[in-house]
Structures are given as structure tokens and as C-alpha cells.
Structure 1
């Protein structure tokens, strides 16, 4: 990105609305109530030909203690330190408040480039507020309407000269999934697994129930308090994405809101938060399902893991708060047994014990993520697949429903990310689901693909009888010939 722009201001002045407009998507939650945004959210912004990183921040409040508001303020001040340009937003309809004056003074000291924005400036009701903004001593206020898009050309003209001071770099973070393999895979193509780079970082989503320790875990990996944490359940409301280099691997990690049972999700805001977390799963390549060691594998944990599998994402299960567990060996044995029984579709997926508080087990978690990523990208040679298929058929031939023998003739890998295989066979619609599961489990075990979703498609080859359809035609010709002779 060419530069980083942080949007700061009091609660409910319209920061998230402008953030969504700049990134072109509804990434940040927006609601009429103040204080919806609590974490720092980064996005890739586009304004004309400008490409830059924009950070949405929590509303600045006059609190310096260890309360939720105080922690939110410290997080926002860290965003100001991180950003190249700081956009200070006020509500033009409300006018300048004492809190605005306090933070304008802080920004003058902390940020080299401050752009003063009077938001909600459409209509005559905003005129007085725009004039008041001059008193903040941050230069001429820029009139904007984040909701209606007014004033965006003026914002472009202000940002353009600043953008020339920073190196330009465009990055596409969208994960590539369901990669179609155009040709049959040879023996020499098996290890062609794409390595994560700064331009294409590995995308990891951390999901789980509220208060499982997702934000604390990511902060520990980062080595700094970038995400808001605390004893209160449900602090995280957005799916926040953070770039990092973890043990030499470029990653983009999504911290998501805790997902509760649908019946317990009552507030409109929490419904938005949960759907935001589901979207993060779709953006990810590897999904880390974080469990609480005290109450693992509740119904909601199983649903989250099943969702990741259905979306075709590689899954790692991490059990948090392991530092306070007393009977570790017995507990681990019970966890593995429950995992295999409750999530058979993810058989063999990595199960790692960690402590987000102490950092113990993070290296194991990193290794599990990389192993799951490699399996998710695995490509199996066509010749090896067909040798394997012959052995599976000899060991357990397919059934013959209604006396019709099903022939499995040929197999190849059609996709990766996740691995997808096609079997050419007769009567694919009559092959029972149990036999498909038998093949999938064999693929997992024999080609070392534990835990990753595997897609297996049965495809018919059509009837091989070259005389089909010709009998009636020949019979008609013969009848015509005989009629002529008879005449």
C-alpha cells in the first residue's frame, strides 16, 4: 500500500461509514448506537487511482483508566502512532465539543499529517459546525458526507500530494480456492505448493465461542496488544484482520466475534457480528477453531468446525487455557476421542493445546497451521491414484444394486484447495454414500491428507455400446428393402 490512513474521532461521528465507503464493502459494522467499533480494523481503500490502507478505530472518549473505554482509547492512540496520515473526524451537525478539543490537541503533538474532516456536512444544518472546526487549529476543515459520498473529490485532492511521499504497492489479499487443475498431474508436480509471500500472505481465521481467548491469542502471537481484550465476553464485534510475519511466514490473521447459539443471539448488533465472523471463514485458507479447555466441543463449536469444512477450508482445532488444566494427559485423551467421534468429517485434523495467556504451545500451533495448509494444497499424481483405486476395489468391491454391477474405471484429481477428485464410473447415481465415504477415508489415510475437506465426484462415462441406437435404424432399412422386393 502507498500509505496508511487512520480515521479517528468521537463515537458515532461516522468513521465506520466512511471506512466502508473507502474500502467499497460493508466490512465495518454500522449502527445508530455509539461505540459499535471497539477494535482496529484495516482495509484496502480505493479513491480514484489512489490505493492505501485505511484503519477504522474505536470512538475516542475521555477515559484513561483500565475500563473498557480506557482500553479502547489506548488502542486508538496506538493506531495514530502506526498511521502515516491521521484523519480527525467531527460531526458538523453537532459542532465542536470539549472532547474534540482535547483530542485535537493530542493529534497536533502525535501525528505529522492530520486532515480535519467535518462529516455529515450535507445541508444548511452543518454550516455552523464547519465554521467552529477552524477553532481546532488543524487547518481548513474538509466538508464530507460519508453516508452520501459528498466531498470525495476534495478528499482525493488533499491525499494526492501526501501519497507521492510514500512508495506505491498494490496487494491482492483474496485467497485462491478451488484451483482447477487443467491437466493430469505427473509425479514431478506433486510438491508444487504455493508458498505464502508478502503479496499473497497465508489467510488464517480464528473462530470460536465468546470469551474463548481469540483476541488474547492473536495479541500473544503479535507480541503486542493490538486487539482489545478483557474479562468481558463479546468484546470483539468485527472480524478484524491483521498482517504479521509469524516465524518467517507472512500471514493475514482474522480475529472474529464469538459465535453463540442462534437462539441466544438477540441484539441486532450481535447478529451483524456473527455474520461478519462467518464471512471471515470464507476469506480464510486455514480456520483455527479455538475451544475453551473447560467446556470443549459444545454444540456451537461443532457447528463452527462443520461450517469451515463445508466451505472447503482447512481446519486446525486449538484448545485454549491449557495452563490451568490439572489432569492434562487424561483431558487430552478425552479431547481426541470426542473430536474423532463428533467430527468424523475432519478425521485427523490437527488438535493442539495452547495457552493464549502464557504463550505456551504457539510454536505447535504454527506448525499445525502450516501442515494443514500444505495438505489443503496437496496434489496427487494420476498414475498413483489409479494404482490406489485398483487396490481399493480389490479390497472392497462396490455393491451391485438391483443386480447392476457398478464399474469404477478411472480416477484423477481435478482440483486442489481443497483437494477434489473425479472418478469415472458406470451408474454414478446408484453408488451408495457409504462407498464414497470408504474412498474418502482411504484417500486421507493412504495419501496423508488428515483433516482437510476432500471432495469426491462420481461421473458417468455414458454407454460404451457402439451399436446402441443403430438397431432400430437398421431394422427400418431392412423393412424398406423387403417392401421394395415384394412390390
Structure 2
């Protein structure tokens, strides 16, 4: 069975550290600042021979429902409602606080098993808090240290007992799933291309942009539920949260990312961690939807984010959000196209879609553009077509002569996809002017219908590598 375990507790008791310990990766941001986690974040956990989904949640706070803390609590309540087991975490070194007692009373009413973890119990400093936690009425606490991994065996015993009872209630267990976990939130040493090449895997889409551009609202609209925390406050999202979705029977993994401000403005350590997490999500995405505010498009930071996506070689679609607030849409779209022509030469023809994450306007067109971008990102052009095109280019617009000697372009082939990467064999590649390189890239993009796709073009010195083989066959 694939049980779901929710981790709850007040802020800064070590829930995200526990989450990272059980998933075996540093997926959730961890910092001494209270309230780092705001959205609920699922991950695939492993403890001995137990495999289950664990959900990290925001710290429980007693606050007004309309406030940010109140909306965060609602996200945690929804995680509890979806869970099979709840891990209630307290800070043993701080002892039982009034907030712990308040939410322990709520936890006692939950119609599912609750395990009390007295975290930070390593050493003698945590002993009084462990004994004090018996008074919460949640059964015997598990003395635990998420940071050092102490108490894992007792947690395993508790979970094993609960999971066995759940399986007994459900009857005969189904055939065990494979031990292979298809986790798209990759470690940096994993082979990205191997993991993205199979048809069974979901398309990984990262939604990026400046703070308050409507990224979380957009994903919630796709899902048809308030899955991610939203609000008028800028910078609500901190972790890169992934959610599964299906669009027209196609499996998709959506990654919400923290808003990225200009580097000079990012001072706090926590925001630096959030931006680093967003960059990682972009790096391992297949298509990135850069969300711009239609009222103030193409700010300097917007262009830097787009440039980052291009340099990472991801498929790219630009969404102009808040289109429902634009009065003269024809004039606004004309201005947007003019600026795109001016600022986006490196991805000429990139798909641009006006949308409203609030009303749902344009979302189907956005997803169609995403799948088109993914198709072009995987495009492969035959060597024969490439070289016929190259012959025409050399005949009509040959490379310039350098020091009285013309540079010869001898052969062109595609080395790889994701994104399309082409290799030109030529004489003196180091002397080819930058303008001619751009001319070749734009020519490939236009001729082989790859608008908006990042294109890599490398040059190698030498003859046609297949010329000698051809001579030998003769």
C-alpha cells in the first residue's frame, strides 16, 4: 500500500528537517527562521522496508483565517485531511508550549493515527521536554533527532504497526510496487537525459517569474483547487513545490517556484535559498513557463529570467498574466510584440500567450504552446537536410574572409536534442564573427521551424568526418 504521512507541528520544531531525513534528500528548505515552509510539500519517503508519501506542512499557528498564517494553517489542515497517518512534532528542548497544547487538543480529535515525535531530544537538554510531552494525551512520545537520525528505529516500529493494521483492514495487500522510485526532483549527479526520455514520465513544467506575477494562482487554476498558498503579499512561495496534474490525458508535473528578484536586492539568507531552489527547478524542468505581469512586461528582471532559461537550454513559453486587467488589449499586444522583437533575439519566435490566472482565460492555449515547445525541444533534423541547407547558405551568404582567406564551412550535423545542438565542421572556427554565428542559428531556427527554442551551435576544426569513409567505399 502507498500510505500518506503528514508532518505537523508549530513553526521551527524541525518538520522540514524530518521530511528531508525521510526522503533522503534536501528537498525542503531548512533555516532557523520560523515559518520557512508555507505550502504543503509531498515527497517519496523510505524507512527500512517501508515506502510511503510524506507531506511537509506549514507551522501551525493560531491566527485569523484571512491572514497569511491563517491561510498557511488551512493548507496544513487539508494535508491532514488527505493523510493516513499524522506525525505531530514538538521541540523537546523548548518543552511543551501553549501552542503545542492547543494543537495537540485538535490532533486528538483527528480520525486517524497520530504519532507524537519529541524532536531535538539528543543529549540531556531534551529529556524534560520528552517527559512533559506525555501530558499532551497523544500516547507515548518518540524521542527523536531529525538532524542526527536518532529514533528512526522506534518510528519505524510505530509506522509498521499502523501500516500492518491498515493492510489487514483492506484485505489482501496488492502486489508490491517496484523499488524504483521515479522522482523528477533530481539530485544534481543524476543523468537528466536518461530520466526525461521515456514516454511514461510526466512532462516537467516549471513556472517561473518575478514575485507576485501570479505563478501559484496559475497552478491553482490549472488544478481547479487552492493547492498552493496565494495572496496579495509578494514572495509567499519559498520552496519549489511540485504537483501532479493531467491535461487532455497527458501526465504533467508542475513546479511552482519562488519569485526571483534582482540579485542586488536578495540579501536575506532564506531568500537566497528560495532562489537557489527555483534555479534548480528550472535546471531540471523540460519546459519553463516564464510568467510576466501584462501591466508591466519585460522588466529587466523578466529579461534576466528568460535569459537564464535560454542559457540552461530549457523549452520556453512566455505567459502574460493579468490580461483581464488590460483595457486596450490590441494596443497592449502590439506593444508586447514590438518589445519581444527588440529584446528576445536569442529566442526569436518564442511562444507568447496572454492569460488570466484568475479567470482561466488563455490557459488551454498556454498548455498547447507548452507541448509545442516540448516537441521542438526534442526535434531532430536529418544530416542530409542540414547539409543541403548549409550548401545554400554558403552559396548565397558565405562566411567573411579573414586576413584574405575565406573560412570554409564543410559539414553540419545534429549532435543531440533537448535542446537541439548542431555541430559545424569548418576551417578556423575561432575566427568566425559573432554576427555570422547568429545568422546561422537564426537560419536553422527559421528553416527547420524551431521558433523560440534554445539552439546550441558548436564548431569543430577539420574536414567532413564522413568524407574518408565515402572514399573507401568507392
TM-score scaled by length of structure 1: 0.87
Deviation at 1:172, TM superposition (A): 3.1
Deviations 1:416-468 (A, max 9, x none): 1001111122222222222221111111111111111111111112699xxxx
Question: What SS does structure 2 have at the residue aligned with 1:390?
Answer: helix
Question: What SS does structure 2 have at the residue aligned with 1:145?
Answer: coil
Correspondence for 1:460: 461
Correspondence for 1:168: 177
Correspondence for 2:374: 373
Matching of residue 403 in structure 1 with residue 414 in structure 2: no
Deviation at 1:134, TM superposition (A): 2.4
- Distance across 2 between alignment mates of 1:48 and 1:90: 24
Name which one, 1 or 2, has greater alpha-carbon Rg.
1
- Distance across 2 between alignment mates of 1:441 and 1:288: 22
- Distance across 2 between alignment mates of 1:372 and 1:308: 13
Question: What SS does structure 2 have at the residue aligned with 1:280?
Answer: helix
Matching of residue 292 in structure 1 with residue 303 in structure 2: no
Matching of residue 56 in structure 1 with residue 56 in structure 2: yes
Question: What SS does structure 1 have at the residue aligned with 2:411?
Answer: strand
Deviations 1:28-55 (A, max 9, x none): 2222221121111222333344443322
Kept in 2: contact 1:177–1:418 (CA 8 A): no
- Distance across 2 between alignment mates of 1:148 and 1:161: 24
Matching of residue 40 in structure 1 with residue 60 in structure 2: no
Correspondence for 1:73: 73
Counting matched residue pairs gives 450
Deviations 1:94-137 (A, max 9, x none): 22233223323333433423221110111122222212222333
Question: What SS does structure 2 have at the residue aligned with 1:109?
Answer: coil
Kept in 2: contact 1:209–1:260 (CA 8 A): yes
Kept in 1: contact 2:204–2:285 (CA 8 A): yes
Kept in 2: contact 1:421–1:457 (CA 8 A): yes
Deviations 1:385-440 (A, max 9, x none): 11121122222112221122322222211111001111122222222222221111
Deviation at 1:196, TM superposition (A): 5.0
- Distance across 2 between alignment mates of 1:336 and 1:221: 26
- If asked which structure has higher relative contact order (CA below 8 Å, sep 6+), I would say 1
Question: What SS does structure 1 have at the residue aligned with 2:335?
Answer: helix
After the TM superposition, which of the residue ranges 50-59 and 434-443 deviates more from structure 2? 50-59
After the TM superposition, which of the residue ranges 88-97 and 309-318 deviates more from structure 2? 88-97
Runs of 4 or more above 4 Å deviation = 161-164, 174-180, 193-196
Correspondence for 1:187: none
Q: Map residues 86-485 of structure 1 onto 2, 5 A cutoff.
A: 86-162=86-162, 165=167, 168=177, 170-173=181-184, 179=193, 196-197=199-200, 200-461=201-462
After the TM superposition, which of the residue ranges 443-452 and 18-27 deviates more from structure 2? 18-27
Correspondence for 2:468: none
- Distance across 2 between alignment mates of 1:353 and 1:387: 38
Deviation at 1:19, TM superposition (A): 1.6
Deviation at 1:195, TM superposition (A): 6.9
Question: What SS does structure 2 have at the residue aligned with 1:438?
Answer: helix
- Distance across 1 between alignment mates of 2:273 and 2:390: 46
Kept in 2: contact 1:414–1:421 (CA 8 A): yes
- Distance across 2 between alignment mates of 1:292 and 1:312: 23
Kept in 2: contact 1:315–1:452 (CA 8 A): yes
Kept in 2: contact 1:143–1:151 (CA 8 A): yes
Question: What SS does structure 2 have at the residue aligned with 1:317?
Answer: strand
After the TM superposition, which of the residue ranges 446-455 and 269-278 deviates more from structure 2? 269-278
- Distance across 2 between alignment mates of 1:204 and 1:196: 15
After the TM superposition, which of the residue ranges 128-137 and 88-97 deviates more from structure 2? 128-137
Correspondence for 1:31: 31
Deviation at 1:65, TM superposition (A): 2.2
Kept in 1: contact 2:8–2:87 (CA 8 A): yes
After the TM superposition, which of the residue ranges 403-412 and 6-15 deviates more from structure 2? 403-412
Correspondence for 2:4: 4
